[in-house]
Structure 1
């Protein structure tokens, strides 16, 4: 029992380590790993909404180490008010140095985010 992780690495890739690091550095120097992307659909199970503050706290657990975080709502039909409030109001105010950039959201989710940020 337990978890298994399978990984494939192409040995004939043309990409260099510097290119990979530069892609995740805000200023493109590759010195700092200071931005990331969170795909929320990977956190929710099939047909499971993200609707609780506890779920949001798990999402933000390591985010203070970044300067910019893109949060992708792609594939998320709906999220709950508590989840959005905890993520964009509570965490956002506690960590103003972290830029939270929501993407691929529904109109309802966008309205929830605007409301949470304005509160």
Structure 2
């Protein structure tokens, strides 16, 4: 993702870093720990491998996600939240998750939450 040259505030920049359908979901999944590309793809319903790789690349460019390559055959690669920015962003996503849960409960969508094991 190409960043703009000018921002009115840091929040605007942060929004650009995680905007889109998949980035927050990828970051939320990575809260569970380092994982492989194939496991991420299985865990995130509806994402293609191409899209997942694109989004991971951008998240790595922003310093939110790291990648570790293990030597040997077959090649093993794991993605993880970075200790600095990635962990801080997780705090913001937790608040967003709570707001979403509250909204769904208020609007009679508890079935979805139960189905996904959230409540």
Quickly name the TM-score band, shorter chain normalised. Answer: under 0.3
User: What TM-score do you get using the length of structure 2 for normalisation?
Assistant: 0.25
TM-score, scaled relative to structure 1 = 0.25
